[in-house]
């Protein structure tokens, strides 16, 4: 598997080995997306733009 992935034309940038990462990943990303959405207005203001809401 690893040799095939590394030698492929489009290898993965990140790989979780084992099962723990794949079990945790969906919730971790969901939490990140929620945090970014919750703070989107502040991020836009910090850039000098207007609120997106």
CA dist 27 and 20 (Å) reads 12
* Confidence category of residue 26, pLDDT binned at 50, 70, 90: very high
Q: Quick one: three-class SS letters along 1-53?
A: CHHHHHHCCCCCCCCCCCCHHHHHHHHHHHHHHHHHHHCHHHHHHHCCCCCCC
- Phi, psi angles (nearest 5°) of residue 38: -65, -30
Q: What is the pTM of this model?
A: 0.58
Q: What is residue 6's predicted lDDT score, i.e. its pLDDT?
A: 72
Question: Own/partner pairs for 46-53, CB < 8 Å, 24+ apart?
Answer: none
> Does 1 have pLDDT greater than 70?
no
Domain boundaries, the chain: 18-53
């Amino acid at each position: 598997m690893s040799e095939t992935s590394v030698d492929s034309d489009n290898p993965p940038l990140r790989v979780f080995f084992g099962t723990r990462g794949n079990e945790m990943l969906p919730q971790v990303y969901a939490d990140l997306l929620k945090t970014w959405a919750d703070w989107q207005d502040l991020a836009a203001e910090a850039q000098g733009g207007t609120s997106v809401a």
